[in-house]
Structure 1
Amino acid sequence: GGYERVKGEVLEDVFLARHVKASGGRLLAADGKELFSIRMYHSLDEIWNGWKKNMFTAMRKSVPRAVFHIAAVLAFLVT
């Protein structure tokens, strides 16, 4: 249980939240930006690779879902 169950996942926070919800638990999202800051990426290449990995995993590794979301974002940016 707990973190031990998800520690090998790319998006361990997402998978932990899914397990909590599946077991009937409650979740709370809180804004911690006043408490600390983190710099995850230092270059455009790191940003691209990090987001590509994280977003594809968040979309449950579904190519059709990824294509849909990319198209939706592009449509939003163009209009």
Structure 2
Amino acid sequence: MYAIDYENPGGRGATVRNGQPGWQSDGSFLTPEGDRLTDDVSRAAYLRTVQDWIIAPQLRTVNGVAGVDSIGGFEKQ
């Protein structure tokens, strides 16, 4: 079992580089794809997207892994 979360949740203590992916001075999070996440729901949905499309497929290639189930977050629809 594992959890996915932001480093420096809410941007507290994070290095801010406006215009670069990561926390921004206005409290939003800028994704590498250029999406600005301004609220908790959009940030949770982004973490779920990372889980479903990046992490889970990589874990499925590991010998002995029977399945990868996602719990929590908001599934993008």
Taking structure 1 as the reference length, what is the TM-score of the superposition? Answer: 0.25
Where is the helix percentage greater, Structure 1 or Structure 2?
1
Taking structure 2 as the reference length, what is the TM-score of the superposition? Answer: 0.25
Tell me: higher relative CO, structure 1 or 2? Use CA pairs within 8 A at least 6 residues apart. Answer: 1
